[in-house]
Structure formats: structure tokens, C-alpha cells
Amino acid sequence: MADKEKYLRIQNVVKKFGDFTALKDVSLEIEEGEFICFLGPSGCGKTTLLRAIAGLDIQTSGQVFQAGRDISALPPSERDFGIVFQSYALFPNMTVSKNVAYGLENQKLEKSQIEKRVRELLETVGLPEQGEKYPAQLSGGQQQRVALARAIATSPGLLLLDEPLSALDARVRVHLRHEIKELQRRLGVTTIMVTHDQEEALTMADRIVVMNDGVIEQIGTPIDVYRKPECAFVADFVGHMNFMNGQVVESDRIQIGSQQLAAKTNGHKPGQAVQVAFRPEDLVAVEDGDMNNAISVNLKDIEFLGSFFRADLTGGDLGQSTINADFSINLSRRVNLEKGRELKIRVPADHIRLFPMEG
């Protein structure tokens, strides 16, 4: 095996269902021990890509290599992975222990070795006392832990998680998030998780693969994907983003409506129409005085979101410029202003991102 060979290499994978192309020439490399999230809206191809890696659906063209081995045409049984599905997929007529032991039965182990391993696995997923129960006697979160124990029972090189948390209620979901991440770190197993939940991806992944319409839009650490989105799709899909129509004035100035702001224009040319993007939490409400890089807007509404307030804004002549309805600023305290009142907000130049106008 060549030195630089990555643990998993997906090369020019195309998947067609009849006339419809679900994956359009997808390539991706994953390091051993990484936790990767495939993130994207419904129908973007996340599950299709995961299933191609597992061999559950063979790609129409392209190749998949795992640990230097070309697994492109192998059936799932000859690949080295464990998988957890959204719907638990436990055998209802088998006890928890039997479910976990399932993959071990084919490994020519002594009965006592299997029992020992099952006990260890149930301990690992925090269910040491539940071995004799049946899946229906467990909560959703517990069933998903059993599914996890079953998936890692044979110590696979690759753990595939297909929306494993999305059927669970919010509290259990957040709790299991931490447990799965902790377990993955402890085992060091290369893991790919499919999710449409950006918070899940941001908190769990070493790197996020953002997908849209059968292609990868961006691959990066959670912080890079959030802070340095490379296209308007990623900027919009991950986190809240304000978008406005604007125009580049000079290499360091843009115009929105009749107001000008300093901004890094990063190669966009003077005169070019652009989408101007900035996040609600990067804006600063200016009391008075310092109008540096500030714009005038009007307060439309204010909502309480627990740890902060989000003020919806319209903007005098900016109103025309707003691309989506989501023009807002986060405030740490409630502003005592009646709706419609004028507000000055500063848009720090470093936090403004420009994207080419679509179409």
C-alpha cells in the first residue's frame, strides 16, 4: 500500500436510478480514525453515498477503496463495516444479547467468548442489565444503543451511521450524540454519519461533507464550514445567514441599497453584482456615535430564544435588497424599542462574505 493512501477513498462515484442521477461524480478521501458527517437537505444523496460505501447499492460507475483494497464490486458481506440505521432494525424476536451477538456467531468463537464480548459491549453502551430483555421492552434511545453495540461487535474498520439519532426525542438525541462521539474516540474507529441536522454535524464531526443535489459542495472542519462557507448554498444551509443583493464598488467597498460598507471583496470585480452575506450573531447594535461600517435598519419584530434575542429587521432602503426573509441580528438583551423604530447596526468587514449572484 502506498504511504499516502487514505483509509477510505471514493473516486468519481456516479449513481443513477433510471434516468435520475443521485450522485454526480463524487470523490472524497477519509483518514483512518476520522469522524465524518455527510450533511445536506433531504434527497441530496447522503444515504445513497453511504449505501455505495457499504455495498448495499452498487454505484453505476466509479470506485471505492478501503484500507488500500478495491471494494467497488464486493457484496456487503465481504466488506469491513458495521452499520446503524435510523429505524434501529433490531430483530424483535431475539433478546438484546442475541441481537448484539448476531455478528459474532459467524466468527467461530467459543460460546463463552461470545458471552463475554456481549457483556463487554452492553457495558460499553451503558446497558449492562438489559441483555435478557427484548427490543420492544426498551426505549428508542436504548434500542439505538443496542444497534450500536451490534454494529461494533466485530470491531469493524468502518462504522456507518445512517441518521441514527433522528427518530429520538431532543434530549435523548443530545445525550446520545456525546456518547457516540466519546465511543468513537475511544475505539478510534473511522466513522461516517449521515445527518440532515447541522447541529449534530457541527458538534460531532471532525470534518463535514456538505452535499447538495448529488454533489459535494464543501468538505471542511465544522469551524471552517461555518466560518468560511465557500458557496452561498453552504452559507445558507449551515447556521443562520442574512443575504442581501449588493454590488462591489471598489476592491474594499460594497454597496447595499444606497449604503456603503467596507468588506473584503476577494476577487469580485468593481461593478459586479453579488450576494452579500453576514450572520446575525456578527452584527453589533450601535447605540450612538460610532457609525463605522454601520447601516440603518428598522426593527420589525423581536423574539426570545432563551439565551439571546433575535431581532427581525427591515431596512429603509435596504428592504429592497434583502434576498431572504431572514434578515436578523442576535442581541444579548432585549432592546426597548417599539416596532418600526430605526436601529443602527454595524457589520464588521471581516464577517461579510460575498458570493456570485446566482443565475
| Interacting residues toward ligand ATP by CB under 6 A | 17, 20, 22, 40, 42-48, 196
User: Distance between CA atoms of 103 and 28, rounded to whole angstroms?
Assistant: 29
* Pick 42 or 307: Cβ nearer ligand ATP: 42
Q: How far is the CB of 45 from ligand ATP (least distance, A)?
A: 4
Q: Which amino acid is at 25?
A: D
Instruction: Using the structure block, give the residue that is written with the C-alpha cell 453515498.
Output: 49
* Pick 172 or 215: Cβ nearer ligand ATP: 215
* Pick 192 or 343: Cβ nearer ligand ATP: 192
Q: Which residues contact 52 (CB under 8 A, 6 or more apart)?
A: 10, 13, 15, 23, 58, 59, 64
Q: How far is the CB of 48 from ligand ATP (least distance, A)?
A: 3
* Pick 19 or 110: Cβ nearer ligand ATP: 19
* Pick 191 or 328: Cβ nearer ligand ATP: 191
**Dihedral angle computed from the Cα positions of residues 131, 87, 199 and 301, in that order, rounded to the nearest 10 degrees:** -120
In degrees, rounded to 5, the angle at the alpha carbon of residue 84 between the alpha carbons of residues 152 and 218 is 105
Instruction: Using the structure block, give the residue that is written with the C-alpha cell 456516479.
Output: 14
Q: How far is the CB of 173 from ligand ATP (least distance, A)?
A: 16
CB atoms closer than 10 angstroms to residue 343: 20
* Pick 22 or 30: Cβ nearer ligand ATP: 22
* Pick 83 or 127: Cβ nearer ligand ATP: 83
User: Distance between CA atoms of 65 and 52, rounded to whole angstroms?
Assistant: 11
Q: How far is the CB of 44 from ligand ATP (least distance, A)?
A: 4
Q: DSSP 3-state assignment of 349?
A: helix
Dihedral of alpha carbons 263, 229, 224, 303, sign:
positive
Range list of β-strands (E), the chain:
8-17, 20-30, 35-39, 61-66, 69-70, 81-84, 158-162, 190-195, 207-212, 215-220, 242-250, 253-256, 259-262, 273-278, 284-286, 294-304, 309-314, 328-331, 342-346, 353-356
Q: How far is the CB of 40 from ligand ATP (least distance, A)?
A: 6
Q: How far is the CB of 15 from ligand ATP (least distance, A)?
A: 8
Contact 70, 119 (CB under 8 A): no
* Pick 17 or 91: Cβ nearer ligand ATP: 17
Q: How far is the CB of 201 from ligand ATP (least distance, A)?
A: 13
* Pick 179 or 213: Cβ nearer ligand ATP: 213
* Pick 51 or 117: Cβ nearer ligand ATP: 51
User: Distance between CA atoms of 51 and 59, rounded to whole angstroms?
Assistant: 9
Dihedral of alpha carbons 240, 246, 249, 255, sign:
negative
Q: Which residues contact 160 (CB under 8 A, 6 or more apart)?
A: 50, 53, 54, 81, 82, 83, 84, 151, 191, 192, 193
| Residue of 321, 329, 359, 351 lying closest to 244 (CA atoms) | 321
> Phi, psi at residue 142, to the nearest 5°?
-65, -40
